[in-house]
């Protein structure tokens, strides 16, 4: 392979994988293993480096990466080719050596793991990795954390020297595929939990929530969660109103942070004071706490600035007719759940588009990999042939020591041998190229 070709290949982020090395991925995830198995297999972050190093030292394993999250534990390895009998050069079947590692390292019985383990080889392993990085294999499809977790595993693998010339470009490709999926589809653009849907809706009304006031009426787990989401999004003032003032104070104290101002509104002053709030989260279940008349007064005092009611109570605290007032937006628990469901459907629809991107990228990567492999083999063949030619040229020169050839004659012999070598190698090179094309994906 010429230097240029080599550079081009490296530029495209693909290094050739010698044909005697194979990619193997072994793992368990939330669909194949119950939580009691996953928690026994989980490798905490502080032990990841040690575990990766140890895996890379297993017989037959050249490179290794461990991905351990709450929903999956996966071992990605580059191994010596096991050949047809499934036995590696070191005598151990590759899959067993990885299970053996889990058994040794985590003290988990092989029999306990084996029924839950999935295994992907070569192209399927590449596809799986791309899907995982793109969050297509996650419990909540499109969640963004997984990419960071894969990147963390990659960093650790590089640091301990377990991720090298084969896994490194593969992982970098996985990151760019994940990025492509995020930018070309809307897989991660909609929220799917009720609390985050409420926060997202608030952002659609107010844009930035910085400086906004949230009023919490009543206490409840979900309203508390929604308030926390709104605070995370930038809301800076939290007012609490509850039947018992002491309870309201406790809630306010629990949600107070250095950047949040909190306050308590006595329930009997709720209607007079609620105009101060941009977002009202209500969960008393007392029924009709906010009627259209009260909401109208509230709007007047707010000079028609919008107000967002998040009604988590059953029976509802906010009369549905309040939503008909200009400037009032009322979402009850059913509305929020419905939006969350619709968002899930949107994500699933986008996941189809994301799958096509992954399929395309797997094909492209495999294609480049097979080309890189055949190019490497051709390069080796040509180097060997050239070495033989040089040897023969040297021998000929020594034999003709008494009758030295002129420079022109030497050049002619050189051309002749080069031409012969090229012609003799041509069928083999063509066969290698053909073989590479045959192994290309459809």
Q: Could you list the residues that contact another protein (CB under 8 A)?
A: 183-184, 186, 189-191, 200-201, 203-207, 302-306, 323-324, 326-327, 329, 331, 335, 338-339, 342-343, 346
CB nearer to another protein: give 46 or 303. 303
CB nearer to another protein: give 25 or 181. 181
CB nearer to another protein: give 30 or 203. 203
Q: For residue 141, count other CB atoms closer than 10 A to its CB.
A: 18
The C-alpha atoms of residue 293 and residue 299 are separated, in whole angstroms, by 10
Residues 6+ apart with CB under 8 A from 306: 205, 206, 278, 327, 328, 329
The C-alpha atoms of residue 275 and residue 271 are separated, in whole angstroms, by 8
Residues 6+ apart with CB under 8 A from 17: 23, 78, 166, 369, 372, 373
CB of 272 to another protein, least distance (A): 20
> Phi/psi of residue 378, each to 5°?
-65, -40
The C-alpha atoms of residue 150 and residue 133 are separated, in whole angstroms, by 7
Q: How far is CA 200 from the centre of its chain?
A: 23
CB nearer to another protein: give 286 or 346. 346
CB of 351 to another protein, least distance (A): 14
CB nearer to another protein: give 203 or 389. 203
Residues 6+ apart with CB under 8 A from 378: 1, 429, 432, 433
The C-alpha atoms of residue 34 and residue 197 are separated, in whole angstroms, by 29
| Element (DSSP H or E) covering residue 196 | helix 194-206
CB of 339 to another protein, least distance (A): 5
CB nearer to another protein: give 42 or 205. 205
CB nearer to another protein: give 171 or 328. 328
Residues 6+ apart with CB under 8 A from 54: 101, 105
CB of 149 to another protein, least distance (A): 22
Two structure tokens written together for 312:
């988590």
| CA–CA distances in Å: residue 234 to residues 80, 217, 302 | 53, 20, 21
CB of 241 to another protein, least distance (A): 25
The C-alpha atoms of residue 77 and residue 167 are separated, in whole angstroms, by 8
Q: Give Dmax over CA atoms of the chain in angstroms.
A: 120
CB of 234 to another protein, least distance (A): 13
Task: Say if CB 101 and CB 340 are below 8 A apart.
Answer: no
Q: How far is CA 411 from the centre of its chain?
A: 58
CB of 88 to another protein, least distance (A): 46
**Residue of 70, 210, 387, 416 marked catalytic:** 70
The C-alpha atoms of residue 99 and residue 193 are separated, in whole angstroms, by 37
User: Is 328 annotated as catalytic?
Assistant: no
Residue holding tokens 């030292």?
Answer: 57
In terms of DSSP bridges, do strands 213-217 and 279-282 run parallel, antiparallel, or are they unpaired? Answer: parallel
CB of 123 to another protein, least distance (A): 28
CB nearer to another protein: give 326 or 408. 326
For the annotated catalytic residues, the residue numbers are: 70
């Amino acid at each position: 392979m010429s230097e240029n070709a080599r550079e081009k290949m490296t530029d495209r982020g693909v290094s050739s994988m010698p044909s005697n090395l194979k990619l193997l991925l072994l793992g368990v995830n939330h669909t194949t293993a119950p939580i009691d198995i996953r928690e026994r297999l989980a490798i905490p972050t502080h032990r990841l480096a040690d575990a990766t190093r140890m895996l890379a030292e297993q017989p037959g394993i050249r490179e290794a990466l461990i991905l351990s999250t709450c929903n999956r534990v996966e071992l990605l390895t580059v191994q010596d080719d096991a050949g047809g009998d499934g036995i590696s050069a070191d005598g151990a079947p590759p899959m067993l050596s990885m299970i053996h590692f889990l058994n040794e390292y985590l003290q988990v019985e092989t029999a306990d793991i084996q029924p839950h383990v999935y295994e992907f080889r070569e192209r399927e392993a590449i596809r799986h990795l791309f899907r995982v990085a793109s969050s297509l294999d996650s419990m909540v499809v499109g969640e963004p954390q997984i990419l960071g977790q894969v990147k963390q595993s990659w960093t650790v693998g590089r640091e301990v020297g377990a991720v090298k010339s084969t896994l490194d470009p593969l992982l970098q490709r996985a990151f760019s595929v994940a990025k492509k999926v995020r930018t070309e589809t809307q897989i991660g653009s909609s929220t799917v939990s009720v609390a985050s849907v409420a926060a997202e809706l608030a952002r659609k009304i107010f844009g930035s929530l910085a400086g906004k006031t949230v009023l919490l009426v009543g206490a409840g787990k979900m309203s508390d969660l929604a308030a926390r989401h709104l605070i995370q999004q930038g809301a800076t003032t939290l007012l609490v109103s509850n039947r018992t003032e002491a309870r309201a104070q406790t809630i306010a104290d629990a949600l107070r942070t250095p950047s949040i101002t909190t306050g308590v509104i006595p329930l009997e002053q709720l209607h007079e004071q609620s105009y101060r709030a941009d977002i009202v989260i209500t969960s008393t279940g007392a029924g009709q706490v906010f009627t259209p008349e009260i909401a109208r007064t509230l709007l007047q005092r707010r000079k028609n600035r919008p107000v967002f009611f998040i009604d988590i109570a059953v029976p509802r605290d906010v009369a549905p007719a309040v939503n008909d007032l200009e400037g009032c937006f009322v979402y009850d628990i059913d509305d929020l759940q419905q939006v969350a469901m619709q968002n899930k459907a949107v994500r699933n629809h986008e996941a189809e588009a994301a799958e096509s991107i992954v399929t395309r990228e797997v094909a492209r990567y495999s294609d480049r990999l097979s080309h890189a492999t055949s190019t490497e083999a051709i390069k080796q063949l040509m180097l060997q042939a050239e070495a033989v030619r040089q040897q023969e040229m040297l021998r000929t020169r020594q034999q003709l020591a008494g009758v030295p050839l002129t420079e022109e004659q030497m050049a002619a012999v050189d051309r002749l041998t080069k031409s012969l070598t090229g012609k003799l190698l041509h069928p083999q090179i063509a066969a290698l190229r053909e073989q590479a094309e045959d192994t290309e994906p459809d």
